[in-house]
Chain A
Amino acid sequence: MSLLRSILRSYKKKPKTPSEILLLVNRFANESSIEAGEEAAILLSPNTDQFFNDLDLSAKNILREISNNTLMISRTTADDHGTQWIVLKSEDFGALVKGIDHFSTSIADKGLGSQMIAAVFKGTIENKDSYWICNYRTASYYPFVPIGKRERDFDREIILSGIFKHHRMPVEPTENWYSLWDSPF
Chain B
Amino acid sequence: MNIQTDKIGRDRGLTARMILTGFLLALTYIALFGLLLITGIPILFVLIFGVGMVFFQYFFSDKLVLKTTGAKVVNDLEEPKLHQIIDRLSKKAEIPKPKSVANMDVEVPNAFATGRSPKHATIAVTKGLLHRLNDQELEAVLGHELAHVKNRDVAVMTWASLIVVIAGYLMQMMFWMSLFGGFGGGHRREGGGQIWAMIMVAYVGIIIIYFVSQLLTMALSRYREYAADREGAIITGTPMHLASALRKISGQIARIPEKDLRQVEHANAFFIIPALQGRMSIASMMSSHPSTEERVKRLLEMQSQYSISNPVH
Contacts and interface: CB of A to CB of B under 8 A. Distances in A.
Contacts of A83: 262
Contact of A162 (B257, B274, B278, B291): B291
Contacts of A23: none
A178 B270 CA distance: 18
Interface stretch (B63-71, B114-122, B248-256): B248-256
A21 B274 contact: yes
A140 B277 contact: yes
A43 B262 contact: yes
B2 interface: no
A158 interface: yes
Contacts of A82: 262
Contact of A18 (B261, B274, B278): B274
B255 A18 contact: no
Interface stretch (B169-177, B184-192, B194-202, B292-300): B292-300
A109 to B, nearest CB: 10
Interface of A: 1-3, 6-7, 9-10, 14-18, 21, 43, 45, 47, 79, 81-83, 104, 108, 113-118, 126, 133, 135-140, 152, 154-155, 157-159, 161-163, 165-166, 168-181
A96 B277 CA distance: 25
Interface in B1-30: 17, 20-21
Contacts of A155: 243-244, 247, 296, 300
Contacts of B279: 9, 165-166, 168
Interface of B: 17, 20-21, 215-216, 219, 243-244, 247, 252-253, 255-279, 281-282, 284-285, 291-294, 296-297, 300, 304
Contact of B261 (A115, A133, A140, A165): A133
B281 A7 contact: yes
B262 A79 contact: yes
B276 A15 contact: yes
Given A10-B281, A14-B276, A140-B277, A118 B247 contact: no
A68 B39 CA distance: 67
A154 B285 contact: no
21 contacts: A10-B282, A15-B276, A18-B274, A21-B276, A47-B267, A83-B262, A113-B270, A126-B304, A137-B271, A139-B273, A139-B276, A155-B244, A158-B252, A158-B297, A161-B293, A165-B293, A168-B278, A175-B255, A177-B256, A178-B259, A180-B261
B268 A136 contact: yes
Most chain A CB atoms below 10 A, which of B20, B261, B262, B263: B261
Contacts of B264: 178
B232 to A, nearest CB: 18
Contact of B271 (A133, A136, A161, A162): A136
Nearest to A104: B270
Contacts of A108: 270-271
Q: Which of B255, B268, B291 has the most CB of A within 10 A?
A: B268
A158 B293 contact: yes
Contact of B268 (A10, A117, A152, A180): A117
Nearest to A10: B281
A159 B293 contact: yes
A36 B275 CA distance: 24
Given A16-B274, A140-B277, A178 B267 contact: no
Nearest to B219: A3
Given A137-B268, A175-B256, A178-B260, A158 B277 contact: no
Given A3-B215, A162-B296, A170 B20 contact: no
Contacts of A174: 252, 255-256
B281 A118 contact: no
Nearest to B252: A174
A154 B297 CA distance: 12
Contacts of A172: 275
Nearest to B304: A126
A116 B293 CA distance: 30
A141 B252 CA distance: 16
Contacts of A10: 281-282
A42 to B, nearest CB: 11
Contacts of B300: 155, 159
A162 B279 CA distance: 10
B272 A137 contact: yes
A21 B265 CA distance: 19
Contacts of B277: 140, 170-171
B260 A2 contact: no
Given A158-B296, A161-B293, A114 B267 contact: yes
